[in-house]
Amino acid sequence: MEFEVISVIGLGYIGLPTAAAFAARRKQVIGVDVDQHAVDTINRGAIHIVEPELDMLVHAAVTQGYLRATLTPEPADAFLIAVPTPFADGHKPDLRYIEAASRAIASVLKKGDLVVLESTSPVGATEQMAAWMAELRPDLSFPQQKGENSDVRVAHCPERVLPGYVIRELVENDRVIGGMTPRCGELARELYRSFVRGECVLTDARTAEMCKLTENSFRDVNIAFANELSVICDRLDINVWELIRLANRHPRVSILQPGPGVGGHCIAVDPWFIVDAAPEHARLIRTARNVNDDKPRYVIDRVERAAMRFRVPVIACLGLAFKANIDDLRESPALEIVHELAERFAGQLVVVEPNIRCLPASLEGSVRLCELNEALTEADVVVILVDHAQFKRLDPVRLQAKVVIDTRGVLAHA
């Protein structure tokens, strides 16, 4: 089947790179987003997020006429939904963005279209998406109604890329594609093969959904081990970075690096989808989530104890993003730590985040955003929360007269 027009719903950290990847293969791509600023920025050939190489791809795609953005869905041959899937109170999956996207595209669907859910989702979300579309389009049949003979094909293909390397990994990584029927999966594989050089492996929709949750839960459990180890080492006066380096010399040991917690829209959220689905059985996954969620509070306690050494202390927090060299603040433990310190700390709090131009609204008025040199000149306590490249180049001599809390091991690896 020839997919002449592809629509990507949600032009964020996954949707926009995906749209650009299709456009780079000379596919006509319509990007849809509810954010007017994002739409206007993309239509100028620019980007509203930080991701290496993406700016060049988007500029070329828009200039050559292969990519345009809009607020309203339009007819296409394939629709990819890449919208957020947060959790609500009690860590319950919140599918309102998927529902909104499903209902938005329903009116422009036609016989022969393919709809792929890329958003990381709880098991059963793809089927629920198909049900929402079927509710609004009784004139069309969907896989849950007609199986292989349905008018509209539906599949799930979760993204599995690393922020900062999205462009390369979109192309090179294997993709797991789960169709609601085998034919749905085959058509989705045909679509992705237009730019994916990795293997496109077929399964059913529920297994594909669980696969992504499993990948992120695996990471979360292993990070929790490192984070718990770092707390124990602090209590025993052991350098956790050296300990991990030595332990990893064992041929079958590969301990990850600890940090101030776990952030991002995937690893910090997705394990809860498994816990919600099987709460009585997901004991290890739940414990790992609790360990990682508790780590920011441990860091805050360390910072407050350090600040007590000074009469009117100035604390400099280095980094707000959830990982190095990006501007993504979603579920960031660094942001959580700074926000909590701003509420509880009586002294002066400054923040260095080289990838943003202004502070999030939750920090305005209580925290000052400044350059690294200014922060180091003023600070009594320096808290390294993100291992941005700029911080890795920091001369340790500049920190000699300060109390330093290095949650990322930047100085240990200098």
CATH of the domain at 38: 3.40.50.720
Residues 119 and 230 both lie in one domain: no
Residues 344 and 314 both lie in one domain: yes
Residues 236 and 188 both lie in one domain: no
In a domain, 208, yes or no: no
- Kindly state the DSSP code that residue 345 receives in the 8-state scheme: -
Residues 186 and 306 both lie in one domain: no
In a domain, 412, yes or no: no
In a domain, 336, yes or no: yes
Residues 252 and 223 both lie in one domain: yes
Does the annotation count 212 as an active-site position?
Answer: yes
Rounded to an integer, the average pLDDT of 210-225 is 97
Mean of all residue pLDDT scores within the chain: 95
Please tell me which residue in 157, 184, 266, 317 is annotated as part of the active site: 266
pLDDT at 1 over 80: no
Cβ–Cβ under 8 Å, residues 6 and 32: no
Residues 146 and 228 both lie in one domain: no
In a domain, 86, yes or no: yes
Residues 239 and 95 both lie in one domain: no
Please tell me which residue in 27, 200, 212, 317 is annotated as part of the active site: 212
pLDDT at 378 over 80: yes
Look at the chain and report how many structural domains it folds into: 2
The CA distance from 186 to 206, in Å, is 16
Q: What is the pLDDT of residues 55-73, one digit of tens each?
A: 999 999 999 999 999 999 9
Residue bearing tokens 């992504």: 212
Residues 137 and 232 both lie in one domain: no
Phi, psi dihedrals of residue 103, rounded to the nearest 5°: -70, -30
Residues 173 and 245 both lie in one domain: no
Residues 364 and 233 both lie in one domain: yes
Residues 242 and 391 both lie in one domain: yes
* Residue 344 pLDDT: 86
In a domain, 126, yes or no: yes
Q: What angle do CA 200, 201, 204 make, to 5 degrees?
A: 130
The CA distance from 171 to 318, in Å, is 32
Cβ–Cβ under 8 Å, residues 408 and 263: no
Which domain range does residue 105 map to? 5-198
Rounded to an integer, the average pLDDT of 98-109 is 98
Residues 167 and 69 both lie in one domain: yes
In a domain, 210, yes or no: no
* Residue 347 pLDDT: 80
* Residue 414 pLDDT: 67
Please give the single-letter amino acid code of residue 126: T
Does the annotation count 266 as an active-site position?
Answer: yes
Indicate the pairing of strand 92-93 with strand 381-384. Answer: unpaired
